[in-house]
Chain A
Amino acid sequence: METQTRTLRKETKITTERMTGAEAVIRCLLAENVDLIYGYPGGAIMPVYDELYKYQDQLHHVLTRHEQGATHAAQGYARTSGKVGVAIATSGPGATNFVTGIADAQIDSTPLVCITGQVGSHLLGSDAFQETDIIGISTPITKWNHQVTKAEDIPSVLAKAFYIARSGRPGPVLVDITKDAQFGELDFEYKKCKGVRSYKPVPETDPKSLNEASRLINNAKKPMIVFGQGVILGKAEEELKNFVEKSGIPAAWTILGLSALPTAHPLNVGMVGMHGNYGPNRLTNQCDLLIAIGMRFDDRVTGNLETYAKQANIIHFEIDPAEVNKNVKADVAVMGDVKHTLSQVLPLIEKDSYDSWVQEFRDHDAIEFEKVIKTELFPEKEGLSMGEVLKSINKETHGDAIIVSDVGQHQMIACRYAEFTTSKSNVTSGGLGTMGFALPAAIGAKMGAPNREVVAIIGDGGYQMTIQELGTIFQTKVPVKIVVLNNDFLGMVRQWQQLFFDKRYASTEMVNPDFIKIAEGYHIKSKRVTKREELQDAVNEMIKSTESYFLEVCVEKENNVFPMIPTGASVSDIRLE
């Protein structure tokens, strides 16, 4: 007997296709041009996995070894490809394992669509097996989330999810789909979402703000730019470069802004923030105009807000209205997409140069070189420094590689010393500071930019937080290069214990396994370097390898990262030792 709906369909000649909710999930992903997803199967998401099996020629699924790895891999993919990353998991523990990656994506504005299975809708609220309120849990860490309990809602909800994840200031979105919605049937029709009534992704730019900004820029004597990831997310690298070059204004970057302007650019003056460069931090408190472009004045950037750039006028180019005046009061806020606003302001500014002002940055660089960089890059001590490993990598990659870093001392060293010629090349967990980020993120980064070299720089602590993703590398044969800078310590915490807790090294010493044996267990080529004379050859061998490669470099155990702005101190009180 035919169901009424089927009879009705015949009569009305509807051209939509009848299918299950689970198949509709796959068809939605295909309609959004997704060809790669990261995930882990389980009970409540099995109908979708069953469809993945049927669609495996069109949609490649990467089986990570933990759901957290799936989110980080999706982040890495999104960061290097500029597309939306997709991660999928089951209900309960599968969904809760997503939490860290989602929180990381939220604070670093990474576009993700995370799909979780959920128990059948009749079981919701009954403490069923593997039931967890992932909507409630993920609410504060998602840009948007939604639970689907009916198959027919799947196309519209997923369309909205992709639209919200990628538009405006990007972010993670979670869609939770009950098992009965996956099994249920619907007439499939996919319409891309073009707008949401209550959501304005990009605020309008007030032409007055452009005039006011250009007036401040044209009258400044000691202006400086601080740019952030907004430039990369807004695909405004060219506009930034044009703005920097026409205005002649020295430009510093936040950790997430890194690589938006080549590190070798004559007006690139380095990193701001806690372990940033001496010049841009000190001169933040001497400039007369601070031009913030697509950055959010994070506390690790500003140090003590009471003493941050008080002497300067501040222009804030920003897409998110909630960021304006949140931490630092802007004299002029230029709202909008930086690609648009920077190109609008360009004709209004005069061509200029600030040679003696730029020289002040270079003078600071010289001091920093003497006190910090020289010993980091050209150490005379026997032990290897983290900096010289980065120097060796630069020599082999010529700044063309994507560097994925984890969290800690090695991350600061990587961001300070890695050279970049191309945008979207620095992938790191900035806002959340998620140890364990780099290894899975590197997998995604390589898949998002398969023609580029991807080198993950990881500490021995963070490496062991997601070390199981070596299994994913082995299984997918993704040729990522993994460098573990091993000091047998949780180095950054140890550094703080040394400087601020009277060297009471509470639980920071790591007794580590034989990392080479672990890599061998996964059939990944590997090498351990303990001596300076072996380093360059080993890095060369790693970069030349067409397969994945694990390089462990045993570095000096108790080195510290400098410069450093102690917590709560002013940017001008940055310490060199």
Chain B
Amino acid sequence: MEKENFTISVYTENNIGLLNRISAIFLKRHINLDSMTASQSEIKDVFRFTIAVKVTEEQVKKIVGQIEKQIEVIKAFYHKEEQIIYQETALFKVASKLLFEERQIQNVIKNSNSNIVTVTPEFFVLEKTGRRREVDALYRKLEPYGLMQFTRSGRIAVTKEKMHISKILENFAPEELL
């Protein structure tokens, strides 16, 4: 079976240590994550992990099973690329003087659909949100001029289909504690 890019969405209780539990599942199987992000979800007190990973579909099914088995995980899903809307964000810190010394850089910025977050006499910061290849393309174009700093976030994604988490939560046994 071919390896593919999968995105795993994990809805969880907000619990210290759960990150450790989830990452241990990958560690144990020697699987490297492309990225992992965690944030509040659309439901109060429910957190959401978004994990990007390149594995076979058989592997991702088993991983999702193991994740879902963790007590404080409400539900885990895996998605193929076409089932989700996904983005990453990158920040580029560039020396301000380049804007004047290297006129080309102005065109690169104009054509890149990026935003200038801040400008100071020493540096300016560009923010680029998009697919990985778009961020990479901008990186390749700016890199020859010299980047003072570069950082890229993990993938965040929403699915095209409904997830029905609230419904799942209602169906669980009523929680009396914690």
**Chain A bound to chain B:** yes
Chain B nearest CB, measured from A346 CB (Å) = 27
Residues 192-243 (chain A) with a chain B CB within 8 angstroms: 193-200
Which A residues are in CB contact (< 8 Å) with B24?
A: 139-140
CB–CB B17/A197 < 8 A: no
A521 contacts the other chain (Cβ, under 8 Å)? no
Which B residues are in CB contact (< 8 Å) with A139?
A: 17, 20-21, 24
Which A residues are in CB contact (< 8 Å) with B74?
A: 197-198
Among A140, A164, A195, A321, point to the contact of B65 (Cβ < 8 A).
A321
CB–CB A322/B13 < 8 A: no
Q: Which of A135, A147, A197, A321 has the most CB of B within 10 A?
A: A197
Residues 164-206 (chain A) with a chain B CB within 8 angstroms: 164, 191, 193-200
Bound-complex Cα distance A253 to B28 (A): 29
CB–CB B71/A194 < 8 A: no
CB–CB B17/A322 < 8 A: no
A27 contacts the other chain (Cβ, under 8 Å)? no
For B61, the closest partner residue in chain A by CB is A325
Which B residues are in CB contact (< 8 Å) with A143?
A: 71
B1 contacts the other chain (Cβ, under 8 Å)? no
Among B73, B174, B176, point to the contact of A198 (Cβ < 8 A).
B73
CB–CB A160/B178 < 8 A: yes
Query: What count of chain B residues pass the 8 Å CB interface test?
Result: 26
A488 contacts the other chain (Cβ, under 8 Å)? no
A478 contacts the other chain (Cβ, under 8 Å)? no
A320 contacts the other chain (Cβ, under 8 Å)? yes
Bound-complex Cα distance A159 to B176 (A): 10
For A197, the closest partner residue in chain B by CB is B175
CB–CB B72/A194 < 8 A: no
B contacts with A: majority SS: mixed
Chain B nearest CB, measured from A121 CB (Å) = 13
Chain B nearest CB, measured from A16 CB (Å) = 16
Chain A nearest CB, measured from B57 CB (Å) = 12
B169 contacts the other chain (Cβ, under 8 Å)? yes
CB–CB A195/B61 < 8 A: no
CB–CB A321/B69 < 8 A: yes
Bound-complex Cα distance A326 to B59 (A): 9
A254 contacts the other chain (Cβ, under 8 Å)? no
With A157-B178, A191-B177 as known contacts, state yes or no: A198 contacts B71, CB within 8 Å.
yes
Which A residues are in CB contact (< 8 Å) with B17?
A: 135-136, 139, 145-147
Q: Mark A316-327, 1 if CB is under 8 A from B, else 0.
A: 000011101110
Residues 12-57 (chain B) with a chain A CB within 8 angstroms: 12-13, 16-17, 20-21, 24, 28
A contacts with B: majority SS: mixed
B62 contacts the other chain (Cβ, under 8 Å)? yes
Which B residues are in CB contact (< 8 Å) with A144?
A: 71-72
For B24, the closest partner residue in chain A by CB is A140
For A159, the closest partner residue in chain B by CB is B177
A498 contacts the other chain (Cβ, under 8 Å)? no
Bound-complex Cα distance A326 to B175 (A): 30
CB–CB B62/A197 < 8 A: no
CB–CB A197/B169 < 8 A: yes
For A329, the closest partner residue in chain B by CB is B58
Bound-complex Cα distance A326 to B20 (A): 22
Bound-complex Cα distance A198 to B47 (A): 12
A156 contacts the other chain (Cβ, under 8 Å)? yes
B66 contacts the other chain (Cβ, under 8 Å)? yes
CB–CB A194/B62 < 8 A: no
CB–CB B62/A322 < 8 A: yes
Bound-complex Cα distance A321 to B65 (A): 7
With A144-B71, A199-B71, A321-B68 as known contacts, state yes or no: A193 contacts B176, CB within 8 Å.
yes
Bound-complex Cα distance A140 to B74 (A): 18
15 contacts between A and B (CB under 8 A): A135-B17, A136-B17, A136-B20, A139-B24, A140-B24, A191-B177, A195-B175, A196-B173, A196-B177, A197-B173, A197-B175, A322-B65, A322-B68, A325-B62, A326-B62
B interface residues with partner A (beta carbon < 8 Å): 12-13, 16-17, 20-21, 24, 28, 61-62, 65-66, 68-69, 71-74, 169, 172-178
4 residue pairs, one from A and one from B, having the closest CB atoms: A195-B173, A322-B65, A197-B175, A198-B74
